[in-house]
Amino acid sequence: MSSLLFSDLASRASVDGADAPRELFSKPASRLGDERSALRNGLLAAEASIDPKYFYDAQGCVLFSAICELAEYYPTRLERHIFDTYREDIQACLPSNLQWIDLGCGDCLKSQRWLSTLPAQRYVGIDIAEEWLQQSVDVLRNRFPAIDCMAVTADFTRDLSLQEALGDVDDLPPVFFYPGSSIGNFARPRAISLLASIRRHLGEHGRLLISVDLRKDPQVMEAAYDDAIGVTAAFNKNILRAANRELGSDFHPEHFEHRAIFDDAASRIEMQLIARHKHDVDLGEGARRQFQAGEIIVTEHSYKYTPEHFGDLLAGAGLSVDRMWTDERGWFGVFLARA
């Protein structure tokens, strides 16, 4: 609450001799079948699940933007507070003449605030929601015409490979920007794999600026994922519409209810969709599943860390912590790491 194939990248050519803004697109046609099979298999598993990347279709992106403004959803406010309070301090720790790599950039608003003051030569926005990404990066191009802006439509969480997009990291050290505590969506092995793939792109002077939701009162955490007016519930149920588009399935979101619980032993929030009654769902390609009343589809895990445990996670990926910034209550952390 967030599979690359960059072997076939298309760049927009220069127009009338001028360098047009570049757009890089992954074209994973050969893997679409694999993605659909993985989605279908997750729904057929004994413990049904849907990868949270399917949250972020056009409607899901709008709903998530609304979630970020909710009273219960503290991560956005605390992250903004940390960035605003320590912006100069953070910026002083970053390389000059950098390229800003925005992972899961969404509406790009967080990066807009940074690009206003950073010595950035290039911006690379990466997101799975292509239409939203293009609109957002177009806004950046208009606002920052001196910055070379790229849009990469991809699921960067699968196999990060950006050599063609980044170019020479010695001349333009990359700063990977991964806000929103999205690293919490991954269990430790997959989180380490993603962080290690980022490390391989950093070079000597590159950095990772990453936000993390820290452990706190479970009631505070659960409320952030189950707001009083039901925006998060709508966001969670919308993933079933995304599944219908991908699989040709016939989920009815109203047949499920939303729940979010904190698993203390695993140190994670679990978002669930719970079947209201017994019913069958056509999953496409001849596959069907009968959901019993009370049966659960897991749609997201969001791991919460102590500062020490997150430092250990970074170390497991070959990264070391340069600095950490947090709010006054220690609810949320921003880490700067290097290879």
- Give the mean pLDDT of 290-313: 98
Domains and CATH numbers, the chain: 24-32+75-216+306-338 (3.40.50.150), 51-60+218-303 (no CATH)
Buried b (16+ CB within 10 A) or exposed e, 316-331: ebebeeeeebbbeeeb
Q: What per-residue confidence (pLDDT) applies to 272? A: 99
Predicted local confidence at residue 2, as pLDDT: 37
Longest Cα pair distance anywhere in the chain, in angstroms?
63
218 versus 131: the higher-pLDDT residue is 218
pLDDT of residue 33: 76
Report the share of the chain in percent with pLDDT over 70: 89
pLDDT score of 25: 46
Mean pLDDT of the 99-103 span: 95
pLDDT in tens, 121-171: 999 999 887 888 889 999 999 999 999 999 988 877 776 677 767 766 678
Do the Cβ atoms of 295 and 274 come closer than 8 Å?
A: yes
CA dist., res. 330 & res. 213, Å (int): 9
Query: How do residues 163-185 score in pLDDT, each as one tens digit?
Result: 767 766 678 999 999 999 999 99
The residue type found at 48 is A
Q: Residue 81's beta-bridge partner residues? A: none
The pLDDT of residue 161 is 72
> Which tens digits make up the pLDDT trace of 230-257?
999 999 999 999 999 999 999 999 999 9
Mean of pLDDT values over 292-315 = 98
Q: Which residues contact 245 (CB under 8 A, 6 or more apart)?
A: 57
Per-residue model confidence as pLDDT tens digits over 22-67: 454 444 444 667 889 999 999 999 999 999 989 988 899 899 989 9
Strands (E), the chain: 24-25, 98-103, 120-127, 148-153, 174-178, 207-213, 256-263, 268-275, 279-284, 287-291, 296-303, 320-326, 332-338
- Can you give the pLDDT at residue 15? 27
Can you tell me the mean pLDDT for 286-305? 98
Q: What is the mean pLDDT of residues 215-228?
A: 98
Exposed e or buried b per residue across 211-250, where buried means at least 16 C-beta atoms within 10 angstroms of its C-beta: bbbbbeeeeebebbbbbeeebbbbbbbbbbbbbbebbebe
The number of helix segments (H) and strand segments (E) in the chain equals 10, 13
